[in-house]
Structure 1
Amino acid sequence: MNDLLQSRLADLLLPELGVTLAQAGARIRVAELEGRAAVEVSVGFPSRWLEPWLRDAVDRLAAEAGQVVSSLTVNSRIATHAVQEKLSPLPNVRNIIAVGSGKGGVGKSTVAVNLALALAADGASVGVLDADIYGPSIPLMLGLHGRPDSPDGKTIEPMRAHGVEAMSIGLLVDQDTPMIWRGPMATSALTQLLTETRWGDLDYLILDLPPGTGDIQLTMAQKIPVAGAVVVTTPQDVATLDARKALKMFEKVEVPVLGLVENMAVHVCSNCGHAEHIFGKGGGQRMAAQYGVPLLGSLPLETNVREQGDAGVPIVAAGGNTATTHHFQLTARRVAVELAKRPQVARPLAVSLLG
């Protein structure tokens, strides 16, 4: 009976994510305690959203099998991934996720910031590193002001906003100061920002890359243990053409691509509700199918997203159960699940509550 319940739980489709618990790498144990079933589910992604849904599903499946559930335990263990064994790992940072694009203007930084906030809302500890040395935008989007502290004159304390840690060259120079640097200077600055920031205990560090496939991206691949990359595009052909270059670049430098995010996919008029595909339709889906990578999310073109970012309160941080916020949350969950499927650094198993 326990094996039947365990099998049925493994086949449960995670809501709106299109994968089962088993496909997402969950470990499920069912034990009999005094004639009742004790269920333990361990997952490799933030699970704050999962437990209420899973509790209802477990009770329903147990009732169908003629069982009663005495307890449900959901454990979230976000592992360090195998790339940490190849490159020098960062203390306290389990996984680095790079967010890149082939061209500018596709909303890459907006996606990066809201993904970070959505992962944090699901229970992860998250940081954001603004790797766009020439055009840093993270301070504005997170509403950060002032200079970060340096307790010892050698390292920097990250600043915090909306529950995430953040660092950017934009926090260290005046807002109007242009970074007139050659490539080696920019890449050196990125490396220092990454390694000399006193990051806390982070499940994910979101690396907001500059657009393109140049020096910053090459340095990242050679020196930074990136666990996976997310490529942002918009639906029109010119954007997906450049996104293809970014995707192939990540492949060549052996950074696994977790999937694509299609931004500005559709605009819904705030007055009449008419939906219009201003930049074309289905470009992200076609590209994902062509290259065999998941389409992690299709995000709308919405004035409120831009306004909230400009105000320093990104739409995920603004609260409210809006459709756009939900799209960002689903996209972040797909990113976390895709990463959880990847090879992980071996470590001793935690002691199970079921014995």
Structure 2
Amino acid sequence: MIIQKTENSRLSDFDPDNFSFGNTFIDHMVICEYENGKWGDVKLVPYGPIPFTPAMMGVNYGQACFEGMKAYKDKDGQVFLFRPEKNFERINKSAKRLAMPEVTEEMFLDGLKALVDIDRNWIPQGEGMSLYIRPLIFATEEALKARVANKYMFAIVATPAKSYYSEPVSVKISDHYSRAASGGVGSAKAAGNYAASFYPTQLAIEEGYEQIIWTDDSTHEYFEESGTMNVFVRINDTIYTPPTSEKILDGVTRDSFIQLAKKRGIEIKIEPVAVKTVIEAQKNGTLKEVWGVGTAVVTTIFQALGYQGEKLELPKLSDEESFAAILKKDLTDLQNNLSEDPFGWRVAVEKNVLETV
């Protein structure tokens, strides 16, 4: 790994009690270029602009994918990644689906650890605080030709993070727009998936909702995801979540919730979730909770569902009654080294990683 440390750290200007998530970037980033059929040297360099042209193929033809993950700092200043091997597996799954070169485990994990280590002082400490990390791959070849590109970049950037949604939100169940289609790229974290979701979400916001629950593209009769999150439904004391597929992203937080629910002995069923079933459960009082999970948000509890012009309120549960709140606490305690880790999910980032990579 080639190391170029910044000579002008911005850390002294960073206020961990007052910052903007997604607009505040740490001092360094990782980059690696692909050309002539192979990846070059991994470089850890000062964060900043990279020169590209409007003819860059990633911009014109959409060969771009990314991951979302976090690093955490405990009360003793120790730093941890959370299940990074899952993100490594998934970014390569996305790259393959978009006909882009896969990255090596060494590039991905060593790059992550080196970046988090050198900028560990940027990681805010406390409840809901973390460092959000964005590994990404995109086509960089300068050519207006609709074909697979010959040049790519792998990069890792990061931004300090705090709690995303602090209050419950209202969501609209989509009966027209879909996030993904059969045979498409729904199971990949393709950049274009997010672009395509913005317009329907805008329409839902104009109707007074904060987010959308996406339904299947063929019948709109089954839940798929919610916004940029996987979705969970609790009817009585059973949790339901749709199975992953070529249309539904295999979320790391989703899988973690499933494993934590099983550990607690909560019944969880991974099966198609029908809109009709959820609406009927709301009407007869057996629908207890609906929530979304994802890396950035961790958990977002829904307070109301909008469907075909009707707004259906959900019960207001205490943290002790809510499975969503209980499982969120289980997860964040594990991530922040406040509890035992029986799964081996927490990966310590030792100091001076750069000496070993």
TM range (shorter): under 0.3
The structure whose residues are more often strand, as a share, is 2
The structure whose residues are more often helix, as a share, is 1
Q: TM-score, normalised by structure 2?
A: 0.25
Q: TM-score, normalised by structure 1?
A: 0.25
